[in-house]
Structure 1
């Protein structure tokens, strides 16, 4: 039975409202990743250590609140969670110019609060799609949502940086506040008001139910395992990748920026292809072979030497291909997860997998840094890339589940 619909979601009013709101929200979020740290640097004189703390407090809510948010998303209307999350972020960002006199502590509080609302929005919008569209429209819907997220990932930082240069960092933050407010208006117009009918039992019991569902279902278990090993290895890889470019290859800063930026177009290409690939080849082959090929492509990086044009061209090519293939895998896996997960536990399953995967990232970063210090940057990069091959190995179990 085909899993890809021939009916365009552009005619689905509620999906278009979700898409518009998610697009504005992602643009605001990625712009804020530039403007908020620049407020800390330019207005409050923050140094590297303070910026590290700001980044940490923005990420901390993922570990602290993901599982609880998953329960709330399953209990409440997803539309209500989306509206509240982006209204909350709009108010938090709008408060920045008014609260600068309170110093860095205030900005840390802003970052933490924004992180909490971001967890709410991300879990809710990923859980909303299967409750909003038909099963055979999931691949198309995920492709459209990921395409705009990828575009925002590329254009958001540029928008933030441009606004800072035109206005000042505190005023540039207001652009994110306005986009978040616009997002809340768009998703608030979604007419789907249904709830999943999840009984209001204890939060811990429902968190445990989400964990058990992931553990017992072979497809979800394979997705969770693949996510965990991938996030761990990719974090270790990215920890040493910048050192590899700047120190091992001795690339100038401008070229390092070009190489890093080349991931963006690849991710955008992958998002655009992600609806077509499963329809052409099937979900099983896409999630396994695209993941395997992307890791093989990245494996070439550790063999590169020198800082000449051929090395730079090879790095850019590798990053574009890796971004496209890995993004195709990510969107396909998301669609499969939505298909096999019952509607009344979508939020808890999303939150559980996010929690397990992202919970390992600090340890991946620590291992990458320690390995680079002990064995050298090139060796650490090679080991981290080889580790990534465990992800397609886990996904082979998912392919067998889909074949049954």
Structure 2
């Protein structure tokens, strides 16, 4: 588990650095406007919409180890290319969009492979504990990485700041490449036998179950409810994230430097949520624990627009709201994180993870656009209230499984 956590620190640092810098480079160096900037931000998510089956099949065919290494390697090469183009003055808008899409492909391969790798390495029983630590480390990276990028931008140049992201990806790549290989616990399962028959060119057994597609995810008790709830929560987060900046800057007139601190408040909340998710997971059924955390997101989402009604301490109110939302959202993410590993055979986790991400992540660029339209048609306050309503609807699928927990994992061979 230690190597996974170290690799997570590197990968999260690289992600935060690159995601912070790409829009800045697009606007400051290339003069990109709002429409193209929206395309740039949406490109990494489009792989989950357009190629989720291919990515899932590639992860299952390559194996989780090769998939995460390929994803990290692709991002290292892409960031290096971006640095060279930036330094030599040959970077264009088209090149930046292509490189952003390539980084998104590497991210899709890594995250899908990572979902398959964690239960294979730490064991299905410890998957939720591992994800709890991963969320905590990611929260630390979300605070430290933007601060480091800001310092490098002031002292040096965007190219050097991008070097931080490339080095972090490389660190993650080396850490995972040197991790001892562990045989999959499901190597002797019927699903593994079917995979072997398929690779050998033989027809699958007529009694074999269908693969883990979106339809099967949505028809599996427990997994479908958790997935739908996460999809609605992510939609609420995209609408809220789009509206928050406009609400703070235009509606309340807060300075940019103050708004930047809201990210730190959210990261601190994520760290607290990762810490305090343990009582939820251990004392309540999975469905009930997820319901409590999701309800916390819905209620906390009302704190931010409440700043509009206050004559003072508006920035503090928003920061507190961001902290509470992030804490509850992180706890909701951790609760049930081991469900796919408990229900899906190891050899099909890549396809299942890709199908789940099509629903939970693929919806994000769509709701981001819809959130922008809502803001244009009404106001940032209305969009924030709409996001709180979406978070509340995320509780509905969980009401039916509030006493449900996944079955224990099968005994793993020594």
Shorter-chain TM-score range: 0.7 to 0.9
C-alpha contact (below 8 Å) 2:286/2:403 kept by paired residues:
no
Which residue in 2 is equivalent to 1:84?
Answer: 70
Q: CA deviation at 1:107?
A: 1.9
Q: Distance in 1 between matches of 2:171 and 2:210?
A: 32
Which residue in 1 is equivalent to 2:130?
Answer: 141
Please give the root-mean-square deviation of Cα atoms over the aligned residues, in Å. 2.6
Structure 2 stretches lacking a partner, 5+ long: 408-414
Q: CA deviation at 1:307?
A: 6.3
Is 1:165 matched with 2:154? Answer: yes
Secondary structure, aligned partner of 1:327: helix
Q: CA deviation at 1:265?
A: 0.7
C-alpha contact (below 8 Å) 2:303/2:318 kept by paired residues:
no
Q: CA deviation at 1:403?
A: 8.3
Structure 1 stretches lacking a partner, 5+ long: 1-14
C-alpha contact (below 8 Å) 1:228/1:356 kept by paired residues:
yes
Structure 1 residues 403 and 317: CA distance shift in structure 2, 3 A: same
Q: Distance in 2 between matches of 1:36 and 1:241?
A: 20
Secondary structure, aligned partner of 1:402: coil
Q: CA deviation at 1:121?
A: 0.4
Of 358, 369, 373 in structure 2, the residue corresponding to residue 370 of structure 1 is: 373
Q: Once the two structures are superposed, what CA deviation does each residue of 1:103-122 show, in whole Å capped at 9, x if it has no partner?
A: 22222221111110010001
Q: Once the two structures are superposed, what CA deviation does each residue of 1:128-179 show, in whole Å capped at 9, x if it has no partner?
A: 1111123331221111111111211222222222222232112321222222
Which residue in 1 is equivalent to 2:353?
Answer: 350
Q: Once the two structures are superposed, what CA deviation does each residue of 1:18-40 show, in whole Å capped at 9, x if it has no partner?
A: 22112111111111112333333
Of 211, 216, 221 in structure 2, the residue corresponding to residue 213 of structure 1 is: 216
Is 1:236 matched with 2:225? Answer: no
Q: CA deviation at 1:102?
A: 4.6
Q: Distance in 2 between matches of 1:289 and 1:17?
A: 32
C-alpha contact (below 8 Å) 1:36/1:173 kept by paired residues:
no
Greater shift, 287-296 or 250-259, is seen at 250-259
Q: Distance in 2 between matches of 1:185 and 1:70?
A: 23
Which residue in 2 is equivalent to 1:17?
Answer: 3
Q: CA deviation at 1:282?
A: 4.2
Structure 1 residues 383 and 184: CA distance shift in structure 2, 3 A: closer
Secondary structure, aligned partner of 1:400: coil
Aligned residues: 388
Q: CA deviation at 1:276?
A: 4.3
Which residue in 2 is equivalent to 1:9?
Answer: none
Is 1:295 matched with 2:298? Answer: yes
Which residue in 1 is equivalent to 2:275?
Answer: 272
Choose between structure 1 and 2: higher helix proportion: 1
Of 15, 19, 22 in structure 2, the residue corresponding to residue 33 of structure 1 is: 19
Calculate the TM-score normalised by the size of structure 2. Answer: 0.85
Q: CA deviation at 1:247?
A: 2.8
Structure 1 residues 38 and 247: CA distance shift in structure 2, 3 A: closer
